Amino acid sequence: MPTRRDAVVRRGMRHVGRAIVEQPGMFTLALVASSLYGAMTVASAYVLGEVVDRVVLPALADGVTSTGALTLAAAAILGVAVLKILGILGRRLFAGVMSYRLQAEYRRRVTGQYLRLPLSWHQRHPTGQLLSNANSDVEAAWFFVAPLPFACGAVVMIGITVVALVATDPLLALVGMVVFPLVFVLNAVYSQAMSPRMQRAQQLRAEVSEIAHESFDAALVVKTLGREDVETRRFTGRAEELRDGLIAVGRVRGLFDPLMEALPNLGTLAVLLIGATRVAEGATDAGDLVSIAYLFTLLALPIRAIGWVLADLPRALAGFDRVTPVLDATGETPHGAQAAVTGAAGAGLGLRGVDYGFEGAARATLSGVTFDVAPGSTVAVVGPTGSGKSTLAGLLVRLVDPATGEVLLDGVDLRALREGEVSTQAAFVPQGTFLFDDTVRGNVTLGADLPDEQVWAALATAAADDFVRRLPDGLDTRVGERGATLSGGQRQRVALARAVVRRPRLLVLDDATSAVDPAVEARILDALRGAERPSTVVVVAYRQATIALADEVVWLVGGRVLARGSHEQLLAEVPGYAALVRAYAQTEVAA
Amino acid sequence: MSTAATALDERHREEGAFATLRRGLAMMPEFRRGLPVTFALALAATAGRVVVPIAVQQVIDRGLAGPGGPDAEFVRTVVLVCAGVVLLNVLAVYRMNVRLFRTTETALAGLRTRAFRHVHDLSVLHQQGQRRGSLVSRVTSDVDQLSTFMQWGGVLGVISLGQLLVATVVMAVYSWQLTLVVLACFLPLAAAVRYLAARLAVAYGVVRERVGDVLAAVSEAVVGAPTVRAYGIRERTAARLDRAIQRHYRAQVKAQQVTAAVFVSGEFVAAVANVAVVVAGVLLGLDGDITAGTLVAFLFLVTLFVAPVQIATEVLNEGQNAIAGFRRVLDVLETAPDVRDPAVAGPGEARQLPHAPLGVRFEHVSFRYAPGARPALEDVDLEIAPRRRVAVVGETGSGKTTFAKLVTRLMDPTEGRVLLGDDDAGWVPLDRVAFASLRQRVVMVPQDGFLFDATVADNVRYGRPGTTDAEVRTALEELGLGDWVAGLPEGVATRVGQRGDSLSAGERQLVAVARAYVADPDLLVLDEATSAVDPATERRLTHALDRLTDGRTTLTIAHRLSTAERADEVLVVDAGRVVQRGTHADLVDAVGPYARLHASWRRSSAGEPAPTA
């Protein structure tokens, strides 16, 4: 498949170009340093040859030397070495900075997109994929940058070497012309042989890990059914495949590593063989022979750097190809210019012929949903699984926009409001509670400057004050990643306090009280409704106790509002509603 | 926390690398196989590295500056012999590498699977769910790290060490004076390597920590997407991300600085050594102690010292991480399980459960999760007759789950004992029952009824391996789930996704019930799920559970009082003690905790707000 390989090379070169265009300054610095390193590597061999020729050989032949000659030799060797070291330092630091900057920059761009793009975009992409786009894919995309200047420097070095070789002795140059390309070709073959094997090993590693995860998560089932042996066999099977995969990787490495090392050694020997004849013929002198032989031992590594870059390019392209769609994704949520009504009591809500469908779904999630919620009232949305309740809740706080129809807050279409207006008016507690890796206070205030009394009051309303007081650092206790140090019920209460503390004019709870005692739930709703400025509350609910608190119930089935009215009214008039509510009551958690 | 788990945390943190290696080698018999041959090959392999300097010396001293002028014949011979040695060396290195990879990977695969099996035997796995992730890394990343280290660092380390040794020997043969000069230059560097390796370890430790921070921050933007939008905190989240990314960047640059320092120190010392060799060599040469070829050969040999220094630093750095991982794996392997299969622990003592319906007897059973802790169960003394359906109820933390764990022998009581059997067939102490017999006759359906990423049939079959698809279908029919499974896209062949994600919570429970049904136990322990299930599935589940428990002794950890209402008998647990026992009808009107539980259930389902007390 030469054409495909050509395409990869072409695209790879474009990708290299992209890296250089993004970080031209750092690349230039790294390239200069690499070239210095390259030139000094050649120079060090030359200096050594000269020292042998002009200092060592005469001294040993004649039995005399001068302090001046020795000092000069020492100064030359050290001077070249210091310059070479400066080259290495510059190359490593600048190349590192370049690669890390690209990583950081793209990570910022990708996560910026995550924050910018609408929730509907998030819903279309699996979480795991988005996480690896921002992490491993970005890293893979720019990994090759670190050895890139080294490789470019190596090109410079080879250029100088070839010129120097030809100038010194064309016949010896011939050896270089054979050996350098051979090193390069061998390297290419090596990468070709390695990359599928490495990929397979990586894949098997992931599979072994998956089995371990699954099996340990299933510990109770495994143990209580006595299936430890079955699980061990399952794990062993994959672990042995991984072992064979790693041995296969080792076999290739095991062969190529010594070959790669032998090649410059054979080159040096060839130089000696031909060189000795040339010295005998008087075509060249011993010093030149030494410096060329020395050069061969020094050049092997830089040449391999070119191989590292080339070998890594396919991986880089694959990573970059996964990142590009995120960067190119459009769908910014447009905002209007209107300010929301403030000062009034609860917000008034209105839905007008709202339709919503998930991309690729056969039927609409919501269709023709129309109803009003009076300011300060409480509405319960009830319906069987999959009826569109959560989608409806998300529409009310503009997590998603309706396909057709409109959602009105105090008579204004949510889309006409300025950015940030909806979140100052409305608070939303989603089904899956999400806490940030922050303190309890930070999770409640979310950065807003609120006095502690207000935070404590909100926690009290959410019945979270008792347990927070018992935490080691109270409000300042860090809750861990996604609130890992708290129990499910505790997390939910903190999330409720987060919503309550804002004194929102509209509160939307999407089944956000499932892990909270009904009494606590009632207290929260009471606190919101009994306040001086009662909030409007929309609650997706299962519990009869919660539903009974609502002024009105919206009965949602298959994305349509089939009935509205008081709980008693619906119980009496809508058989489906009565059946569902009773069924939930049967399953009610009692203890 | 069990005592074993504590030991897992605190064991020899201060153990040295060599002690860990010794401990590890004792546990990896595969590793020692053929090791002498490998080391012999390694020694042969390093010989190839000094061939070129020797050739240079020979060519200069005897080929070019020989007594009879340049000797082309001699040069040809030397070069050919050396080329032969180089090629042989390639072969030796290849053989050594392959042997090394094979033995280490085989040994590590063995270590991995033994650790995997052992983790399943440890109670930490089910007692402390939050530690599962770290146990997974014991059999994955910890071993992977060791393997990577062996493949890259280990082999390089062995070769580098050999290279240093052989180069030193060759140098000593040429000239002991110059050898001392070179060693004097490199010895301080060898000391610096330890220091630099430690710096490197710290720097990369920080990088790893920062990577974790970035991962956490990114996951906030992704997993917390609805919350971020609902509260309009995009700026704040972006700022946190930016900070995490910036800190990671800075740590990377810092680590790169240390790495660069390590790299150039070797180069610098090599230059100093070259100068020293030239100066000392010329001075020695004046006295005729040294030839030009030897001097040049030394300059070549010095380059052999540079790479090992750079490699050694990285090997030391990565080696420390690998050893730490190794230590963690070994610690897991050396942790004794709290509960052991009597068939393994003392085969003579192991007994089978009688082939009769099983009753349960608790004799003054107490249990504490840690010595000195409040007992989770205290002096429980009771008997449950075979074939009774018993509901265990109580507040959260009352001890009802502990009760279930003791009956299934996930743990052993701190005091007293649990027996299974009946008066006719006899009672067998639970800790004497061979696991094979116990797990076959006593089955627990845990709360979340874990499903594997496989088909419905595979998941049901997990209860009894070898069950055919047709038998699975029959079982589902018998449980009244025929219509449900017919509604799945591919019937019993429908894949359930990771952890059963493509099914609803209720449907996952249906599969778990079917799994217990095909296992056909005599004693069932059901830990009821607390999550709300949609009514249609709930009806199916109730029906299926009735069929499953029919004719079997059943202990249900009940979270719903509807379950208690249907049970033959109710046990009310409060603060670790059984405080009430009787039928629902008896208990509901009696004064006591059951009446209270029942009242609160009635309240929450009757539609009246509970009092705010």
pLDDT tier for residue B165 given thresholds of 50, 70 and 90:
confident
Question: Helix or strand or coil: residue B419?
Answer: strand
Alpha carbon of B249: minimum distance to chain A alpha carbons (Å): 6
CATH number at residue A302: 1.20.1560.10
Q: Is the CB of A427 inside 8 Å of chain B's CB atoms?
A: yes
On whether the CB atoms of residues A427 and A505 are closer than 8 A, the answer is no
Distance CA A149, CA B62 (A): 42
Computed over every residue of chain A, the mean pLDDT equals 84
pLDDT at B348: 79
Per-residue pLDDT, B517: 94
Q: Domain end: A328, A362, A389, which one?
A: A328
Can you tell me the mean pLDDT for B428-451? 88
Contacts with B, A 453-492, CB within 8 Å: 481-482, 484
Distance CA B256, CA A567 (A): 67
Q: 3-state DSSP call for residue A589?
A: coil
Q: Are residues A174 and A249 in the same domain?
A: yes
What angle is formed at CA B369 by the lines to CA B365 and CA B372, rounded to 5 degrees? 90
**pLDDT attached to residue B245:** 95
Examine the domain organization and report whether A372 and A254 are in the same domain.
Answer: no
Contact assessment for residue A426 and residue A396, using Cβ atoms and an 8 Å cutoff: yes
How do residues B473-501 score in pLDDT, each as one tens digit? 999 999 999 999 988 888 899 998 877 87
Q: What is the mean pLDDT of residues A215-241?
A: 89
Residue B112 pLDDT class (50, 70, 90 cuts)? very high
Domain boundary pick from A264, A296, A328: A328
As a residue count, chain B comes to 613
- Domain range annotation of chain B: 1-174+320-338, 176-289, 359-448+522-606
The beta-strand segments (E) located in B440-544 are 442-445, 523-527
ipTM above 0.90, yes or no: no
What are residue A406's phi and psi, to 5 degrees?
-145, 155
Is residue A435 over pLDDT 70?
Answer: yes
- Pair A285, A409 in one domain: no
Q: For residues A84 and B267, is the Cβ–Cβ distance under 8 A?
A: yes
Measured CA to CA, the distance from residue A58 to residue A144 in angstroms comes to 48
Pairing of β A552-557 and β A378-382:
parallel
Instruction: Please check the confidence at residue B607 and state whether its pLDDT lies above 50.
Output: no
Does residue B1 surpass a pLDDT of 50?
no
Looking at CATH, the fold of the domain delimited by B359-448+522-606 is given as Rossmann fold (3.40.50)
For residue A575, the enclosing domain spans: 349-429+504-586
Mean pLDDT confidence for A223-232: 88
Tell me, yes or no, if B112 comes closer than 8 A to chain A by beta carbon.
Answer: yes
Instruction: Report the range out of A158-167, B7-16, B385-394, B559-568 with the highest average pLDDT.
Output: B385-394
- Please state whether beta strands A552-557 and A560-565 pair in parallel, antiparallel, or not at all (unpaired): antiparallel
In this complex, which of A209, A246, A258 lies closest to B136 when CB atoms are compared?
A209
Instruction: Tell me what pLDDT residue A169 has.
Output: 82
Whether A131 and A68 share a structural domain: yes
**pLDDT of B301 over the 50 cut:** yes
What are residue B351's DSSP bridge partners? Answer: B433
Say whether pLDDT at B362 is over 90.
Answer: yes
On the question of pLDDT at B142 being above 90, the answer is no
Answer with the residue of higher pLDDT: A580 or B114.
B114
Residues A211 and A359 in one domain: no
pLDDT at A300: 67
Is A488 within the bounds of a domain?
no
Q: Is residue A561 part of a domain?
A: yes
Specify whether A302 is located in the same domain as A367: no
| DSSP for residue A52 | I
CATH of domain B1-174+320-338: 1.20.1560.10
- Cβ atoms of residues B554 and B444 within 8 Å: no
B141 half-sphere exposure, CB direction, 13 A CA radius? 8
Residue A361 — very low, low, confident or very high, per pLDDT cuts 50/70/90?
A: low
Structural contact between residues B445 and B525, judged by C-beta atoms closer than 8 angstroms: yes
Reduced to 3 states (helix: H, G, I; strand: E, B; else coil), residue B372 is coil
Higher pLDDT, B438 or A535: B438
Of B116, B267, B559, nearest to A235 by CB-CB distance is B116
- Residue type at A409 in one-letter notation: L
Q: Return the residue matching tokens 């630099």.
A: B196
CA distances from B392 to B59, B357, B397, B527, B572 (A): 92, 20, 13, 10, 6
pLDDT band (50, 70, 90) for residue B604:
low
pLDDT in tens, B209-263: 888 888 888 888 888 888 888 888 888 899 999 999 999 999 999 999 988 888 8
Of B70, B113, B410, Cβ closest to residue A223: B410
Q: Quote the pLDDT of residue B4.
A: 44
Confidence of residue B552 (pLDDT cuts 50, 70, 90): very high
The two tokens of residue B426 are 């006899």
Residue at A29 is within a domain: yes
Residues A223 and A308 in one domain: yes
pLDDT tens for each residue of A142-176:
988 888 888 888 887 888 888 888 887 888 888 87
- Flag whether pLDDT at B48 surpasses 80: no
Q: Are residues A246 and A371 in the same domain?
A: no
- pLDDT above 70 as % of chain A: 94
The whole-angstrom distance between A380's CA and the closest CA on chain B is: 13
Which phi and psi angles does A327 have, rounded to 5°? Answer: -65, -35
Reported as a pLDDT band with limits 50, 70 and 90, residue B124 is low
| Tokens found for residue A13 | 């070169």
Q: Do residues B527 and B557 touch, judged by C-beta distance below 8 A?
A: yes
The more confidently predicted of residues B6 and A50 is: A50
Residues A290 and A363 in one domain: no
- Among A60, A93, A259, beta carbon nearest to B90: A259
Interfacial B residues in 142-181 facing A (CB < 8 Å): 144, 147, 151
The CATH number of the domain holding residue A526 is 3.40.50.300
pLDDT, residue A456, reads 93
Tokens 């790879």 correspond to A12
- Averaged pLDDT of chain B: 83
Q: What is the pLDDT of residues A230-281, one digit of tens each?
A: 899 999 999 999 999 999 988 988 888 888 888 888 888 888 888 888 888 8
Q: Is the pLDDT of residue A7 over 90?
A: no
Tell me the pLDDT tens digit for each residue of B305-315.
Answer: 777 777 776 77
Which among B221, B450, B558 is the nearest to A218, CB-wise? B450
A interface test, pick of B139, B204, B393 with most A CB neighbours within 10 Å: B139
Decide if A545 and B610 are in contact by the 8 Å CB cutoff.
yes
Nearest-neighbour CA in chain A from B94: distance (Å)? 5
Q: In chain A, which among 313-352 make CB contacts under 8 A with chain B?
A: none
Exposed / middle / buried, residue A167 (Cβ in 10 Å: 0-12, 13-18, 19+): exposed
- CA-based nearest distance A341→chain B, Å: 17
Strands B359-367 and B415-422: antiparallel
Q: Which structure tokens are listed for A114?
A: 């995550």
Looking at residue B609, its pLDDT comes to 39
Q: Is residue A419 in a domain?
A: yes
The rounded distance, in Å, linking the Cα atoms of B596 and A151 is 78
Indicate the pLDDT class of residue B530, thresholds 50, 70 and 90: low
CB contact under 8 A, B263 and A591: no
Query: What part of A 279-318 touches B (C-beta under 8 Å)?
Result: 279-280, 286, 290, 293-294, 297-298
Residue A472 confidence (pLDDT) above 80: yes
**Residue from A274, A180, A95 nearest B63 by CA:** A274
Percent of chain B with pLDDT over 90: 23
Q: How many domains does chain A have?
A: 2
Residue B70 pLDDT more than 80? no
* pLDDT score at B20: 81
For A541, which residue in chain B has the nearest alpha carbon? Answer: B532
Most confident of B21-25, B148-152, B393-397: B21-25
**Which residue is closest to B444 within chain A, CA to CA?**
A224
Judge if A144 and A72 occupy the same domain. yes
Residues 77-136 of A with CB under 8 A from B: 77-78, 80-82, 84-85, 88-89, 92-93, 96-97, 100-101, 103-104, 107-108, 111-112, 114-116, 119, 122, 127, 130-131, 134-135
Core vs surface per residue B39-69: b (16+ CB within 10 A) or e: eebbebbbbbbbbbbbbbbbbbbbbbbeeee
Mean pLDDT of all residues in A329-357: 82
Q: B483 in helix, strand or coil? A: helix
CA–CA dist B388, B528 (Å, integer): 17
Distance of CA B333 to the CA centre of its chain: 11
Strands (E) in A235-365, as ranges, are 349-356
The model's confidence at residue B294, banded by pLDDT at 50, 70 and 90, is confident
- Which residues fall within 8 angstroms of residue A208, CB to CB, at 6 or more apart? A235, A238, A239, A242, B112, B139, B140
Q: How far off is chain B from A102, nearest CA to CA, in Å? A: 10
Q: How confident is the model at residue B532 (pLDDT cuts 50, 70, 90)?
A: low
Q: How confident is the model at residue A302 (pLDDT cuts 50, 70, 90)?
A: confident
pLDDT band at B125, cuts 50/70/90?
low
Distance CA B420, CA B353 (A): 8
Q: Give the CA distances from residue A422 to residues A346, A428, A497, in Å, rounded to whole numbers and listed in that order.
A: 13, 10, 19
